Amino acid sequence: MFLEQARKLDREDPLARFQDEFYLQPNTIYMDGNSLGLLSKRAEQSLLDSLEDWKENGIDGWTQGRQPWFYMSEIASELLAPLVGASPEEVIVTGSTTVNLHQLVATFYQPKGKRTKIVADELNFPSDIYALQSQLRIHGLNPEEQLVRVKSRDGRYLVEEDIIDAMTDEVALVVLPSILYRSGQILDMERLTAEAHRRGILIGFDGCHSVGAIPHSFSKWDVDFAFWCNYKHLNGGPGAVAGLYVNRKHFGVLPGLAGWFGSNKEKQFDMEHSFIPADSAGAFQIGTPHVLSLAPLLGSLDMFREAGIEQIRTKSLLLTNFLLELIDAELVGMGFTIGSPREEYVRGGHVGLEHKEAARICKALKENGIIPDFRAPNMIRLAPVPLYNSFEDVWNVIQMLKTIMEEKQYEKFTNERDVVA
């Protein structure tokens, strides 16, 4: 019954054609696109184009060739802006996730009087917490006292009322994930932004697990800033240049970490010692862009332009709904607990399965040609990606999980993560 349902959904899938655009390995089902997206033929071609520009033009590749490097970040930003609900001027492809967070906090965290605290959450990805602690220390403040990490009531999810309650008159800045990296819970960014602003607090979001997976309306919601990586759902490649958003109401604010690529492009090569920033989010660039880690994103974003983020989100929900349905039907009594929201409006692009033997099960899945993701201490994350995963893929993954559990194939592995999980 479920296999026929999967095949019917695949026949009706308007995004099915994009599967042929990706390098899918034979006898392998890739379910880890929320950690690193797969290579597409278009991303490969846009990288090869930049290599050809380098080969043929040398230094003139900055302004000549197929995709001139001097303007590449802005070109990518134009393609990326619709995915985050912003104008192209409010988006810039630059840096890495953590560098961009440092840049934005260095700019917008301005402790004054008793407003000295930063609100985050205890479920956030560690890198964000490290950066926030570092920024507090730069200001001579004690992170143990000044970084408020909102508690989770159950270890999986955050309650938005708890976050709002933490927005006291001692808070200068709030930095939260748009989607929790373990459970996949989507936070109500519009509501949280309105509540922060009502209290005179600036707010920003880490969009690493949401950009490319769900639609956003950063400008409409009046979000102050956001930052994200481009190698997960956007398939920009390992170490792909990241992205950031700055609301246009903040244009003209000097970046906390100034660098020459944040200059007005007409003035950048004047070599003056007076910094004249770009009149856009481009001002928040620091150094020369890593062209060969940026070029693949142009090809990938071209596919997103064709597919449309609304259509991608529609298929994503169908895939994760089908995944949840199969888990309920096929894995009963095997020790699994669903660690992601069942409600569509708060579920991101992956499903987390909790199990006490999770690390061993992930290794058994890999041995059988299925690539999952493990998150300590006990979560298997499965991310069926709309552009290259099918509904039959989802069915096959659950059948293999069932076989692994019934045959206890996981028992030959240690229940420890690999160096890279």
Distance, CA of 375 to CA of 352 (rounded, Å) = 9
Tell me the binding residues: 97-98, 125-128, 206, 209, 231, 260, 288
Task: Report the candidate in 372, 333, 353 with the shortest Cα–Cα distance to residue 182.
Answer: 353
**277 or 76, greater pLDDT:** 76
Where is average pLDDT lowest: 76-90, 118-132, 265-279? 265-279
Give the fold, CATH level 3, of 2-30+309-412: Aspartate Aminotransferase, domain 1 (3.90.1150)
Binning pLDDT at 50, 70 and 90, where does residue 421 land?
low
**260 or 28, greater pLDDT:** 28
Binning pLDDT at 50, 70 and 90, where does residue 420 land?
low
Mean pLDDT of 320-329: 98
Looking at every residue in the chain, the average pLDDT score rounds to 96
Binning pLDDT at 50, 70 and 90, where does residue 414 land?
confident
Contact (CB, 8 A) for 175 and 145: no
CATH number for the segment(s) 46-306: 3.40.640.10
Contacts of 303-306 spanning 24+ positions with Cβ under 8 A = 303/18, 303/21, 303/40, 303/42, 303/387, 304/79, 304/83, 304/212, 304/234, 305/79, 305/82
Task: Report the candidate in 384, 285, 281 with the shortest Cα–Cα distance to residue 325.
Answer: 384
Mean pLDDT of 206-221: 98
Query: pLDDT (tens digit, 9 = 90+) per residue, 387-398?
Result: 999 999 999 999
Query: pLDDT (tens digit, 9 = 90+) per residue, 127-171?
Result: 999 999 999 999 999 999 999 999 999 999 999 999 999 999 999
Question: Is a pLDDT exceeding 90 seen at residue 316?
Answer: yes
Helix (H) or strand (E) holding 100: helix 97-108
Contact (CB, 8 A) for 377 and 341: no
Mean pLDDT of 344-365: 97
Binning pLDDT at 50, 70 and 90, where does residue 324 land?
very high
| Domains in the chain: boundaries | 2-30+309-412, 46-306
DSSP string computed for 249-307? GGTTPPPSS--GGGB-TTTGGG--SS--B-SSGGGG--S---HHHHHHHHHHHHHHHHH
Helix (H) or strand (E) holding 245: strand 243-246
> In CATH terms, are 2-30+309-412 and 46-306 the same topology?
no
Question: Is a pLDDT exceeding 70 seen at residue 214?
Answer: yes
Q: What is the pLDDT of residue 9?
A: 98
**122 or 274, greater pLDDT:** 122
Tell me the binding residues for pyridoxal 5'-phosphate: 97-98, 125-128, 206, 209, 231, 260, 288
